[in-house]
Structure formats: C-alpha cells, structure tokens
A and B are shown apart, each in its own frame.
Chain A
Amino acid sequence: MWNWKETRDEKSAARSADAAAQSYNTAGHETHHESRRTPMTQSAQPIAMIGQSIHFKGELTGNEDLMIDGVVEGKIDLKEHHLTIGKNGRIKADLRAKSITIQGEVTGQIIADEKVDIQVTGRLQGDIIAPRLSIADGAHFKGSVDMDRKAESAKAAVSHDDKQLHVRPPQRVAMPV
C-alpha cells in the first residue's frame, strides 16, 4: 500500500549527513595537531557546524545544512535543510528541518518534513512530527510520533489536482462505416 522506497532526495540527504559525520569525526581525531577542519559533504561543499565547545542559548535559524556537536538550548529552525546532531551534541530545543539525524542527546519537539533518523548513539525524549522515522537498535526514544496531517492532506490535494489536470479527454475513434 505504501511506497517504502526512499526517494533520491532522502537518500542523498542521509548520505551527505553520514559523510559530514564521518569527515567531522576524522577531523576530530586530527585536531590534536592541526586546526579544526570544517566538515565537508561529498560535493566538497562545507556545511555549517557548531563545535563541541560551543554552548548556545536562543533561536537558531539558517538556510544551509547544519551539524551541531555542542550544546544548544532554545529553538532551531532550518526549514529546507538537513540538521545533524553529532555524538557530542546536547540539545534542549524544539527542532525544525527537512530531515534530522540524531547521534547525540535531544530533548524537545521535532518537526521534520521528510525523515527523522535516530542512530545507535542517539537519545531522544520528545514528540516527533514527521512522515518517516528510523531508529537504530540501541538508540533510545521516548515520546510520541505523528504525521503532519495538514501537510499530508495538502500534498494529497495537490496530487489529486495534478491527476485531474493530466486526465486526457476520451479520444474519438473513427469507426469504419
């Protein structure tokens, strides 16, 4: 009944998050000797990062992917972008993003347009509104999960309109006399 296959966008978002996490972890090991590197995605485009020693209180908004490995309290709103909470991240905030990957600790409400992914080291206490959820074995989650009913109904209405627009009128076939 439901299409469980990930869309390309979801896959690429997850891949870029993994790549960002991997490159960050690698960078983390090397920071003993060199300056901290900015995590890079596969397309070598740097993503914004809040490092381990940063403690931020307030409202955080942005128009690019973000990785948080520090402490954030308040509210985070990335709208159309991917948010990764790194292994050292400690978040007490309401989060909103296109997709969210959790490797650290989060307490708060989460709204994701596409997917929430709680990885094996992730701990989440709070409510989720998202169409898809992935929880690794060993991850901790306590809270409720719901879909954004308004968005879903709006999508359904749009797809219904599209279908109506693309309906071809029945063609007349000339019958041989």
Chain B
Amino acid sequence: MQVTTPLPPSAPSGGGVRSIQTRAPLVPQPAAPVRRHHSTNNLKRLLDALASCPAPHLLDVGRMCDQNINWLIHHRCKVTVDDQITTLPPPPPPPKNVPAHFRDSLADMEKPPAPVVIELHHPEGLFDAVLCWDLLDYLDPAGARQSLERFAGLLKPRGYLLAFFNCERAAVRPATRYRIMDADRLEYEPLPDAHPPGRAYENREILELFAGFDLVNSCYLKNQMREILVQNKPVRTGRSS
C-alpha cells in the first residue's frame, strides 16, 4: 500500500511529497486488556464492621494501587502497604499437553521442597484488618496456610481478613489489580505483563484454609470470583510462629 503525505512547506527536503511504504500487519495485534467493573459484596461489610474502630489500621498485601489507598484513607483508615505479589517468584511453567483441570493435581504431586510463604515484618496484633485480595491464588496450599497463620498473628483479636479467589478453571488467568471504585464496586484491571496466579482453589480447600478463623461472609460472584471475609479468633492459642 502506497501512501503519500504532503510535507509542510518548511521541510528541509526539496520535494513537496514524501512516500511511506507501509505493510498490513501479518499478525493481528492483541487487543488491549479490558478493565471491567464487578460488584463486591464484602468490602462494604468490612467497612461497616470497622466503623466502631476510631482509626482502623489496615494492611494491604495485594498489588499496590494508589486509588485504593486514597479511597481508604478518606474513609478514615490508616493503610500500611506491603505489596507481596510483585515480590513473589514466578511460578514454574505448567507441564505441556496436560488439560488445565489436571494441572493443580500435578502441581500437588510435584511439590517444591519448601512452600513460598509470605514474609512480613510488622509488630504482632497491630492491624484491624488485612486486605489479601487474590494473594493466596499465587501460593500453594501449604504456603497459603502458613501465610494465613502469619496474618492471624498480625491481626488484632477479632480483626478482619478479606480475600479473593478466582475459581475460573481457565488455562491462563491473567494477573489482576483490583481498584476500589466505591464500597460496592471494583474495577478489575488485567496485567498481562505480570506473572499470573498459579492456583485455582476449590471451595472445600478455601474453607479448610480459613479453619482457624471465624467466617463472616463468603460469596460466589457471577464472574466466578469467591470473596471471603473472616474474623480472627478472640484469643489465638497454639499458633506456630
């Protein structure tokens, strides 16, 4: 395809016309990731639960998002940001020629020697709530269990923890950042360059993970996300460090 564009009169070359050779792209360009808005059931519930605290202190261990921080501090929260997802090592590549629904079982059989556990260096019992977002989808069950033990230690007695699980059994689930639009609505921003979560938990596994907490609300959304809000036990006994 030949395209001719007239040059401006001040252009240095003598001719008034320049030709540009362009080719039609051979490979279709991938569409830009679409941000979608979805309802949230537990964020408002969490804020309502924190209403009795004079200045609730939240720990956000999900992907850093300035909009969320601004929103939360304007809802009289103090927010400690400790993005754990971007510091996680990338998951091992999935085995080839294996259906997606078998991959988690295979991953269980070929367990790495030590699970990835979230390392947090904050004082015990400091926070009124922990926002996990979908962090646990990046961890295997052993790592998730140990990380939840750690979160329980960081929470005050009767403190809250909010976690999301993507229950979609698609082969590739993109990494996602969750932006708070309002108390009832989140924007899901796909991050194609970030490494995706490696795990899709079953409902049974999710409930097992939170066995050490009191369940406040668990809901399964139309977009195949499970939101779970749990509360720390009043006094924790026999917890491993």
Residues of A within 8 A of B (CB): 2, 131-135, 141-147, 149
Contact = CB atoms under 8 A, between A and B. Distances in A.
Given A133-B69, A135-B66, A143 B74 contact: no
Contact of A146 (B64, B66, B78, B83): B78
Contacts of A144: 57, 78-81
Contacts of B70: 132-133
B73 interface: yes
Contacts of A132: 70
A141 B79 contact: no
Contacts of B104: none
B55 A145 contact: no
Q: Size class of B's contact patch? A: 10 to 19
Interface string B73-110: 11010111111000000000000000000000000000
B81 A146 contact: no
Contact of B64 (A2, A141, A147, A149): A141
B230 to A, nearest CB: 23
Contacts of A131: 73-74
B55 A149 contact: yes
A176 to B, nearest CB: 50
Given A132-B70, A133-B69, A135-B64, A145 B82 contact: no
A143 B121 CA distance: 11
